Amino acid sequence: MENSKLKTFVRDYTIVIVIALLAVGFTIGNKNFFTVSNFLTIMRQSAIMGVCGVGLMFCMVTGSINLATGSFMSLTTVLVALWSVNWGQNWIIGMILAVIICTIIGFVMGEVIIRGNINPMIGSLAVKTILAGAAYLISGGLPIYGIPDESKWLGQGFIGIIPVPVVVLVVVAVIASIVFTKTYLGRKFFAAGSNDEAARLSGIRTKEIRIASFIVCGMLCGIAGCIQLGRMGSGQPAAGSEVEMNILAALIIGGVAIGGGEGKVLRAFCGVFLINMLTNGMTLMNVNQYWQQVVQGFVFLFAVLLEAYQHRPYVPKKAKEDKKAAAKT
């Protein structure tokens, strides 16, 4: 049994080896890659995606999906900037309000998608468009500059030597990890994603659980938006555009099952780190922006292929041999 545990561990964290190999490659390509400051840069970027990713993970574990994560972030940065710059109000209250708004949007979105029996991929794509449009509307299409310097601490500051975003991520990840593995709520999230009907017959209200996952996702995307605001120092209606796909790809690389019922927070974060390191490394090696996009697309495709391979229908060994024998005759 110990042996099989080790096997699972090795299989789960093969991604670490991939990260190491890539790191070696980038280090050879650019000597500035393997430095503490660059590592912190990657970590800071990963932290924002990571917080969002944990939110998306809640949705995915229940067998649903949310493609609006980036738009939630854009909207948050714009809302807080509007509140603190244009209206001159306290930024802390602004952030709290923005996170609350995101949570409410998550709730409404979940209600509509889950109770309305909409395919969550399509439903959340619609929500993404709505929120992105709203962010442009509110900001008039332009960035909102001049947010209070203190608010930038959340994105650019340090606690000791650790960047604040990383601290936030660690807190979020630890809490999520505890929820998933130690609480009965976590069990319900996984049960709903693993087999909806069986879970329902075991007394789990799977619809409510899925809606809850959208609420959590909205909230976490709001928090990620606040960090993003601090990091960029301005409200950007485009802050989160195109981020959704990267987050999704990162989670799939990080072993979160598309069909639900499977995923580990730490492993998922490895996926996020990998994606960000790839972008960072390519930028340092002066890879053309458009080429980067092409590479990202291929990485995404590869991740999905890998996922499909891992979740291929289980055929017992015996049946396989029988089939082979039958094919011969």
Partner 1 sequence: MSNQEVLLRLSHIEKSFPGVHALKDVSLEVRKGEVLALIGENGAGKSTLIKAITGAHAPDSGTIEFDGVTYDKMTPEIALQVGIGAIYQEFTQAPPLSVAENVFMNLRVNDGPFRDYALMCKKTKEITDKLGVDINPRALVKDLTVGYKQLVEISKALARNARFLIMDEPTAPLTDDEVELLFKIIRELKEQGMTIIYISHRLDELFEVSDRVTVMRDGEVVVTKDINEIDKPMLIKYMVGRELKESFPERDKHYGDVVLEVKDFCGETVGPVSFTLREGEILGFGGLVGAGRTELARAIFGADPQVSGELYVKGQKVHFKSSMEAIEHGLGYVSEDRKNQGVLQNMAVDFNISLPIIKKLSHMLLVNTKKEREIVQKQVDDMSIKTPSLKQRTSNLSGGNQQKVVLGKWLASESDILILDEPTRGIDVGSKQEIYKLINRLAEQGKAIIVISSEMEELLGLTDRMLVLYEGKCTGKLEKEEYSQEKVLQYASGELSL
Q: Does 201 bind partner 1 (CB under 8 A)?
A: yes
Under the binding rule (CB under 8 A), the answer on residue 198 touching partner 1 is yes
Establish if 30 lies at the interface with partner 1 (CB under 8 A). Answer: no
Burial class (CB in 10 A: 0-12, 13-18, 19+), 182: exposed
Alpha carbon separation from 225 to 39, 148, 269, 323 (Å, rounded): 22, 16, 18, 53
Residue 203 interacts with partner 1 (CB under 8 A)?
A: yes
Residues β-bridged to residue 235: 144
Regarding 261 and contact with partner 1 (CB under 8 A), the answer is yes
List the structure tokens of 181.
């593995």
Give 1 or 327: the residue with its C-beta nearer to partner 1. 1
In angstroms, rounded to a whole number, what is the distance separating the alpha carbons of residues 115 and 155? 37
Please identify, among the stretches 121-129, 178-186, 222-230, 297-305, the one whose residues bind partner 1 according to the rule CB under 8 A.
Answer: 178-186
User: Residue 266 and residue 169: Cα distance in Å, rounded?
Assistant: 11
**Three-class secondary structure of residue 158 per DSSP:** strand
The answer to whether 197 contacts partner 1 (rule: CB under 8 A) is yes
Q: What is the DSSP string of 233-280?
A: TSB-TTTTTTHHHHHHHHHHHTT--TTSS---HHHHHHHHHHHHHHHH
Identify which range of 69-77, 80-88, 136-144, 175-183 contacts partner 1 by CB under 8 A.
Answer: 175-183
Residue 176: CB minimum distance to partner 1, A:
13
Binding part of the chain for partner 1, among 41-49, 152-160, 199-207, 300-308 by CB under 8 A, reads: 199-207
Minimum distance, C-beta of residue 325 to partner 1, in the bound complex (Å): 13
Residue number with CB closer to partner 1 (201 or 327):
201
The binding site for partner 1 (CB under 8 A) comprises 1, 179, 182-185, 187-188, 190-191, 194-195, 197-205, 261-262, 314
